[in-house]
Amino acid sequence: MASAQKQSANVDLFDAYFGRADMDRDGRISGNEAVAFFQGSGLPKQVLAQDLYKSRCGNRLTEITERASADKYEAESLAKKYEEKYKQAGDVASKLTIEEATFHDLQEKKMELNRAVVKMEQEGDADAHFRLATWYPRRSC
């Protein structure tokens, strides 16, 4: 019970300090409000300057460290996305090369077939039609 009363008294004390420091009553203590609050504490300016400087540097260091960590994470994420896209582009290029080779083979066969049809028509060869049909098998669907 005594520790609950002590904790309640500490909360009340900190609330009172916060209320004095938060001069514009916005629920936050700005840098200017903090300076004004500590200047009113009665501590020597040398002590205040040293403590406020350490606090400001510590906060800035934390801010820079967090930003650097976030930037590192973003860079790693972008690197992974780049590697995935690079691999996908390689896969597409390989498929395209295969498709181009297949297309050229089909074009050659088409040309040969056209030449055979023209030759068959010019020569009037009845057996050429049979040879043509056996040479170019039908595709099953």
Name the percent of the chain lying above pLDDT 90. 33
Q: What is the 3-class SS of 17-58, one letter each residue? A: HHHHHCCCCCCCCCHHHHHHHHHCCCCCHHHHHHHHHHHHHH
Over range 9-13, report the average pLDDT: 81
Measured distance CA(85)–CA(78) in Å, rounded: 10
Average pLDDT over residues 43-57: 68
pLDDT for 24 beyond 80:
yes
Residue 137, pLDDT score: 57
**In this predicted structure, what is the pLDDT of residue 49?**
67
pLDDT of residue 8: 76
Task: Encode pLDDT of 92-138 as tens digits.
Answer: 999 999 999 999 999 999 998 888 888 877 776 656 555 656 655 55
Global confidence as pTM: 0.36
Greatest Cα pair distance, the chain, in angstroms, is 119
Average pLDDT, the chain: 80
